[in-house]
């Protein structure tokens, strides 16, 4: 199933200006493929793949068996396997429990990271191939 829950033109830097949103008090379960940036303020459970950025807001909760993106910013709670071609950033309010593969991992003071990390030069090609297979 492919769904765009919300899309607006705007200031997204690298994905062509589109942002898909799961709003507060919303729950999405399943498989989500996208080329837009994704912002999660509600709850997501499942597989999430995008060539853009995934941002988990302070109230956002994500449980993912496979999250693949260009960059990932965690200000809320993320649990599972994360692969980023670029940066994974856990902000001071963020919690990440699981496995991280990324070119860079940034953990701000006050953030929680519990799990395993593997630093890779760049995984952009892998993320692009996964989206292209749709």
Q: What is the CA radius of gyration of the chain?
A: 13
**Non-local CB neighbours of 11 within 8 Å, separated by 6+ positions:** 17
Closest by alpha carbon to 12, among 69, 80, 90? 69
| Predicted confidence band of residue 122 (pLDDT cuts 50, 70, 90) | low
In a domain? residue 62: yes
Position 82 in a domain: yes
Examine residue 1 and state whether it is found in any structural domain, yes or no: no
CA dist 47 and 29 (Å) reads 9
What sign does the dihedral 74-33-62-85 (CA atoms) show?
negative
* Per-residue model confidence (pLDDT) at position 132: 47
Q: How many domains does the chain have?
A: 1
Domain membership of residue 107 (yes or no) is yes
> Would residue 13 count as lying in a domain?
no
> Would you say residue 100 lies in a domain?
yes
- pLDDT value at 121 more than 90: no
Residue 76: which domain range?
19-132
128 within a domain of the structure (yes/no): yes
Question: How many Cβ atoms are within 10 Å of 38's Cβ, its own excluded?
Answer: 26
pLDDT band at 123 (very low <50, low <70, confident <90, very high): low
In this structure, is residue 116 part of a structural domain? yes
């Amino acid at each position: 199933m492919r769904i765009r829950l919300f899309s607006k033109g705007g200031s997204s830097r690298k994905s062509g200006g589109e942002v898909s949103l799961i709003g507060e008090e919303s729950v999405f379960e399943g498989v989500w493929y996208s080329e837009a940036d994704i912002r999660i303020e509600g709850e997501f459970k499942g597989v999430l793949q995008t060539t853009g950025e995934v941002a988990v807001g302070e109230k956002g909760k994500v449980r993912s068996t496979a999250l693949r993106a260009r960059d990932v910013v965690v200000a809320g709670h993320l649990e599972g396997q994360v692969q980023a071609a670029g940066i994974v950033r856990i902000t001071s309010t963020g919690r990440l429990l699981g496995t991280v593969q990324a070119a860079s991992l940034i953990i701000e003071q006050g953030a929680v990271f519990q799990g395993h990390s593997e630093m890779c030069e760049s995984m952009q090609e892998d993320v692009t191939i996964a989206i292209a297979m749709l």
